[in-house]
Amino acid sequence: SQQGEEDPQALSIQEGENATMNCSYKTSINNLQWYRQNSGRGLVHLILIRSNEREKHSGRLRVTLDTSKKSSSLLITASRAADTASYFCAPKVSGGYNKLIFGAGTRLAVHP
């Protein structure tokens, strides 16, 4: 399975601190996407990193990808209470249709 597995399962930090979440997967991928889910609501696409990229930035988000280790990390800098959510990685298999496989996610709590 190309399921992304996020680590840690839960993370609790103070506002202003950085939050790092990790993702591991099992097969070769075309790209890897990160999504955010606010409590009980729909997922929102955050950022995509392609297999030939090693690092990508979007605002306070930084994503890295190591295809040799089949792993990715999402860093949120200067976190805010509004970043409190669950974060999912979704690896996409090369050539496959848009079937996104999600793990159980990382629950991030940012305390004021």
Partner 1 sequence: EAQVTQNPRYLITVTGKKLTVTCSQNMNHEYMSWYRQDPGLGLRQIYYSMNVEVTDKGDVPEGYKVSRKEKRNFPLILESPSPNQTSLYFCASSLSPHSTEAFFGQGTRLTVV
Binding site for partner 1 (CB under 8 A): 3, 31, 33, 40-45, 48, 88, 92, 97-105
Tell the smallest beta-carbon distance from residue 105 to partner 1 (Å).
6
**Cis before residue 8, ω within 30 degrees of 0?**
yes
Tell the smallest beta-carbon distance from residue 97 to partner 1 (Å).
4
Q: Which residue's CB is nearer to partner 1, number 16 or number 96?
A: 96
Tell the smallest beta-carbon distance from residue 19 to partner 1 (Å).
20
Q: Which residue's CB is nearer to partner 1, number 44 or number 78?
A: 44
Tell the smallest beta-carbon distance from residue 14 to partner 1 (Å).
27
Cβ atoms within 10 Å of 95's Cβ, excluding its own? 7
CA distances from 103 to 9, 29, 65, 97 (A): 10, 16, 17, 18
Q: Which residue's CB is nearer to partner 1, number 19 or number 43?
A: 43
State whether residue 83 is helix, strand or coil. Answer: helix
Q: Work out the end-to-end distance of the chain between its first and last CA atoms, rounded to an integer number of angstroms.
A: 38
